[in-house]
Amino acid sequence: MLGDSTRSVQYWVRRFEKEGLSGLAEGERPGRPRRRTENPMRAVTSALGRTPEAVGLSGTLWDGKTLSAYLEGHFQVDLGVRQGQRLFRPLGSRLRTPRPMLASGDPIVEEAHKKNPRR
């Protein structure tokens, strides 16, 4: 009903019984602090507003691989492709992938190969 696991709800009830409403407040969570700061993120956001070619990279659209290469070259931050893809949303951008170009064959051969040729 709440969209969370049964175990999480049990923890909430136990904290509520023990500490009241203040026990339900989210506190600090352990973990490694962020390595990125706001200043480089502004630079990355402005770079995403231009084409990759304008910032010295190959390609015409930003994707995870291109963003990872940009971060590696400009900020010495080594990210995988998937992590690069995940950064688009927090940066206020969206990931766009190019549509594949399909090769077209010889129209005469294609027409002869069809099961029901045109008349």
The answer as to whether 117 is a domain residue is: no
| Most confident among 43-47, 92-96, 103-107 (mean pLDDT) | 43-47
Cα separation of 43 and 74, whole Å? 10
Q: pLDDT > 90: what percent of the chain?
A: 8
Domain residues for the domain of 64 are: 38-86
DSSP 74: H
Instruction: Judge if pTM exceeds 0.85.
Output: no
* Range name among 5-14, 22-31, 49-58, 63-72 with the lowest pLDDT average: 22-31
The answer as to whether 21 is a domain residue is: no
The answer as to whether 19 is a domain residue is: no
Which residue do the tokens 């992938």 mark?
Answer: 97
pLDDT at 41 over 90: no
Confidence of residue 119 (pLDDT cuts 50, 70, 90): low
Looking at the structure of the chain, the number of domains it has is 1
The answer as to whether 109 is a domain residue is: no
The answer as to whether 65 is a domain residue is: yes
